[in-house]
C-alpha cells in the first residue's frame, strides 16, 4: 500500500510540474497577432475605441472603421512638423535609441477639404516575435470635432466645429500591438505599400488609435480653416520609451461619414513619391 501511495504521489507531482512548465512556456510565448487580411476593404479595430462607432458600424460594441481605400487617396492627407507647412515632409528621428518625444500635425490639402475623423497608425518593429516588452507610448491629440453629416462632401459650418484639447490623452504598451502584424506593409490603395518612408523592410506590429477629432484643410471649400487653431490640423504630441532600438513609424488615415468615395477610410499619407510625408524613429 505504501508503494502504491508513493507511486501516486510521484505521478501527481510530475503532472503538476508538467502543468507548471506548460503555463510558463505559454506565458513566454508572444501574443499571437494576425496579418491584416487585405490591403484595403477591411474592418480594423481601434485600440482606444472608435469615437464614431454609431456611424461607422451602428453597433457600440463594434469599435472599428472600414478601411475602404478604393483608389487614389494619397494626395490629400499629410504629416508635417509645422502646421504652417500643410504639404508636410518626411521626418526621420535617427538613432534616438530607447526613447523619443515630439510633435507633428496631420493636415489636409484635398479638394473636399476635411476629414470627419483622423486615425493614427503606430507601427513598432518586431523584436523576438513581439513588440518591445517595455514599450510605453503616450499620445496626446487635439483638434476640431463636429457632427458628421450624411450629405456628401458637405463642409461643416464654422459655428459647428469645436476645438477639443486632449481629445486623446492616453498611454499604450506592447499589448496594444498584439492584434495586427507582423508585416511589412500598411493598409493603402495599393498592395505591398511600405510602412516607413525609409523603406526599411522591417516587420512591424500595428496599432490603430482614433484621434477622436477631424481635420480641416486650406483649400477653397474650407474658407475659414486658416483662422482656426493650428490651421485646422490635428496636433499630436507623443512620448515613447522602451523602444530598445526598435524602429517606430507613424502614419495618418482619414475617415469620412460621406464623400465621393463613400463612408469609410479612404486617405493616408504618401510615402513613395516626391510629395511623401511621414514620421519615423530610429531609422
- Closest C-alpha among 87, 165, 79 to residue 122: 79
**What are the extents of the domains in the chain?**
1-30, 37-281
Between the alpha carbon of residue 201 and those of residues 181, 193, 246, 272, the distances in Å are: 14, 11, 13, 14
Q: 142: closest CA among 238, 221, 45, 56?
A: 238
- d(Cα 163, Cα 224) in Å, to the nearest integer? 14
Residue pointed to by grid coordinates 476640431: 144
Count Cβ atoms below 10 Å from residue 273 Cβ, excluding itself: 8
pLDDT in tens, the chain (283 residues): 444 444 444 444 444 334 333 433 333 334 468 999 999 999 999 999 999 999 999 998 899 999 999 988 999 999 999 999 999 999 999 756 789 999 999 999 999 999 999 999 999 999 989 999 999 999 999 999 999 999 999 999 999 999 999 999 999 999 999 999 999 999 999 999 999 999 999 999 999 999 999 999 988 788 899 999 999 999 999 999 999 999 999 999 999 999 999 999 999 999 999 999 999 999 8
272-278: list long-range contacts, CB under 8 Å, 24+ apart: 272/193, 272/194, 273/74, 275/75, 275/87, 276/90, 276/197, 277/78, 277/79, 277/80, 277/87, 277/88, 277/89, 277/90, 278/79, 278/90, 278/91, 278/196, 278/197, 278/249, 278/250, 278/251
**CA angle in degrees (0–180, nearest 5) for 136-141-144:** 165
Amino acid at each position: 500500500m505504501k508503494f502504491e501511495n508513493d507511486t501516486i504521489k510521484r505521478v501527481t507531482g510530475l503532472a503538476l510540474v508538467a502543468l507548471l512548465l506548460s503555463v510558463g512556456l505559454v506565458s513566454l510565448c508572444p501574443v499571437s497577432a494576425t496579418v491584416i487580411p487585405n490591403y484595403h476593404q477591411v474592418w480594423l479595430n481601434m485600440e482606444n475605441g472608435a469615437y464614431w462607432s454609431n456611424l461607422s458600424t451602428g453597433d457600440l460594441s463594434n469599435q472599428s472603421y472600414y478601411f475602404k481605400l478604393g483608389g487614389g487617396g494619397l494626395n490629400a492627407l499629410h504629416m508635417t512638423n509645422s502646421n504652417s507647412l500643410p504639404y508636410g515632409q518626411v521626418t526621420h528621428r535617427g538613432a534616438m535609441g530607447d526613447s523619443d518625444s515630439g510633435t507633428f500635425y496631420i493636415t489636409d490639402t484635398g479638394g473636399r477639404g476635411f476629414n470627419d475623423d483622423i486615425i493614427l497608425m503606430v507601427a513598432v518593429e518586431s523584436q523576438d516575435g513581439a513588440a518591445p516588452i517595455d514599450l510605453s507610448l503616450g499620445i496626446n491629440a487635439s483638434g476640431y470635432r463636429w457632427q458628421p453629416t450624411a450629405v456628401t462632401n458637405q463642409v461643416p459650418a464654422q459655428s459647428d466645429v469645436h476645438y477639443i484639447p486632449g481629445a486623446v490623452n492616453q498611454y499604450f504598451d506592447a499589448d496594444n500591438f498584439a492584434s495586427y502584424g507582423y508585416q511589412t506593409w500598411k493598409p493603402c490603395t495599393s498592395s505591398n505599400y511600405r510602412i516607413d518612408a525609409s523603406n526599411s523592410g522591417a516587420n512591424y506590429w500595428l496599432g490603430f488609435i482614433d484621434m477622436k477629432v477631424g481635420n480641416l484643410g486650406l483649400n477653397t471649400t474650407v474658407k475659414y480653416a486658416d483662422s482656426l487653431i493650428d490651421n485646422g490640423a490635428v496636433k499630436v504630441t507623443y512620448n515613447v520609451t522602451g523602444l530598445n532600438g526598435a524602429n517606430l513609424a507613424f502614419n495618418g488615415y482619414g475617415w469620412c461619414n460621406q464623400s465621393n468615395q463613400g463612408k469609410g477610410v479612404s486617405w493616408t499619407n504618401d510615402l513613395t513619391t516626391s510629395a511623401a510625408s511621414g514620421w519615423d524613429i530610429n531609422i
